[in-house]
Amino acid sequence: MTTQFYGAASLDGFIATPDHDLGWLLQFGEIEGTSYPAFIRDVGALAMGSHTCEWMLKHTIDMGQPWPYAQPVWVFSSRTLRSLPGADVRFVQGDVRPVHQAMVQAAAGRNVWIVGGGDLVGQFHDAGLLDELIVQIAPVTLGAGMPLLPRRITQPALRLQSVTPLGGIFAELRYTVPKP
Q: Which residues bind ligand NAP (CB under 6 A)?
A: 7-8, 15-16, 20, 25, 48-52, 55, 76-79, 93-94, 115-120, 123, 146
CB of 124 to ligand NAP, least distance (A): 10
Strand order in the sheet with 3-10: 89-92, 73-76, 43-49, 111-116, 3-10, 132-138, 170-176, 159-166
C-beta closer to ligand NAP: residue 30 or 108: 30
Q: For residue 137, give the nearest of 159, 169, 113, 114 by alpha carbon.
A: 169
DSSP structural state of residue 63: G
Q: Is the peptide bond before 72 cis (omega within 30 degrees of 0)?
A: no
For residues 35 and 50, which CB has a smaller minimum distance to ligand NAP in the complex?
50
User: Between residues 34 and 77, which has the closer beta carbon with respect to ligand NAP?
Assistant: 77
Which residue, 24 or 110, has its beta carbon nearer to ligand NAP?
A: 24
2 vs 77 by CB, closer to ligand NAP:
77
Q: How far is the CB of 65 from ligand NAP (least distance, A)?
A: 15
- Direct distance between the N- and C-terminal alpha carbons of the chain, in angstroms, rounded to an integer: 19
Beta strand 43-49 with 146-147: parallel, antiparallel or unpaired?
unpaired
- The sign of the torsion formed by the CA atoms of 132, 137, 141, 146 equals negative
CB of 56 to ligand NAP, least distance (A): 7
CB of 161 to ligand NAP, least distance (A): 19
Least Cβ distance, residue 26 to ligand NAP (angstroms): 10
Residue nearest to ligand NAP (CB): 49
